[in-house]
């Protein structure tokens, strides 16, 4: 089964390196929020989890062109954030997350403070394949990783299901597709679908869903 998560990673600088600092201490430690949004990247990504013996293996398919693709082509370490549908949808819009930092051996990695649980993942294999779908050709990088550390961050809220949660994630998926679609009739179709979902969100969602839905529509 595929799960939607947010992947956070340090951005790469102009020299093509990330801002992962070397640290001599071999401890796992959490730092305070440094409010340095420009240094960190977040993106909603579909991820497959598989238990193999005592190990948790992770696989994701990354479309060429995203920052996450470019970062993880070079960097071996990243964080999987298990979080609410709202945070998943919000993460497609910008990188202005509430980041905290976690240290694992020599690596300092960003995660989202709203996450319920995080996994620190090390990439153990990359494959680049060409893919063709309804939107055209593009390269996909299949990454396989192993979870090095699982950490619970905050208790999930126990709340009844709200339809706006599912719909705002669907709006976010459509929003991200608009970046790769060139055909104008396909773009119009996507926009109409987003507007349809937004109508329902306005009826059943809270002010955060509505504000985010408006932002996604205004970015079209």
- 29/214 with CB nearer ligand FMN: 214
- 105/181 with CB nearer ligand FMN: 181
Quick one: which segment of 66-74, 148-156, 187-195, 199-207 binds ligand FMN (CB under 6 A)? 66-74
Locate 26 and state its tokens.
């071999």
Distance CA 177, CA 179 (A): 5
- 54/130 with CB nearer ligand FMN: 130
- 105/178 with CB nearer ligand FMN: 178
Sole binder of ligand FMN in the list 169, 190, 201, 216 (CB under 6 A): 169
- 73/105 with CB nearer ligand FMN: 73
**CA nearest 89: which of 187, 180, 5?**
5
The answer to whether 8 contacts ligand FMN (rule: CB under 6 A) is no
Distance CA 173, CA 189 (A): 14
The answer to whether 43 contacts ligand FMN (rule: CB under 6 A) is yes
Q: Which residues contact 216 (CB under 8 A, 6 or more apart)?
A: 89, 92, 93, 171, 172, 175, 194
Q: What are phi and psi of 153, to 5 degrees?
A: -105, -50
Rounded to the nearest whole angstrom, what is the least distance from the CB of residue 27 to ligand FMN in the complex? 29
Bridge pairing between strands 136-152 and 117-133: antiparallel
Q: Would you tell me which residues interact with ligand FMN (CB under 6 A)?
A: 4, 41, 43-46, 60-63, 66-68, 88, 92, 169, 172-173, 176
């Amino acid at each position: 089964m595929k799960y939607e998560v947010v992947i956070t990673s340090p951005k790469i600088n102009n020299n093509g390196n990330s801002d992962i600092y070397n640290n001599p201490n071999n401890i796992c430690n959490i730092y305070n929020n440094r409010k340095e949004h420009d240094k960190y990247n977040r993106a909603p990504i579909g991820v497959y989890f598989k238990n193999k013996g005592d190990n948790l293996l992770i696989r994701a398919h990354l479309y060429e062109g995203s920052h996450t693709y470019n970062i993880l082509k070079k960097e071996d370490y990243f964080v999987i954030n298990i979080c609410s549908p709202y945070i998943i949808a919000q993460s497609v819009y910008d990188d202005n997350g509430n980041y905290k930092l976690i240290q694992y051996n020599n690596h300092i990695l960003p995660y989202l403070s709203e996450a319920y649980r995080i996994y620190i993942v090390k990439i153990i294999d990359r494959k680049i394949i060409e893919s063709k779908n309804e939107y055209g050709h593009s390269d996909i990088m299949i990454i396989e990783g192993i979870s090095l550390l699982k950490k619970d961050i905050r208790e999930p809220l126990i709340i009844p299901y709200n339809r706006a949660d599912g719909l705002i994630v669907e709006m976010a998926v459509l929003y991200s597709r608009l970046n790769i679609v060139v055909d104008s009739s396909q773009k119009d179709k996507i926009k109409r679908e987003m507007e349809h979902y937004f109508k329902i969100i306005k009826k059943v969602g809270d002010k955060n869903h509505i504000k985010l839905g408006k932002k996604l529509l205004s970015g079209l």
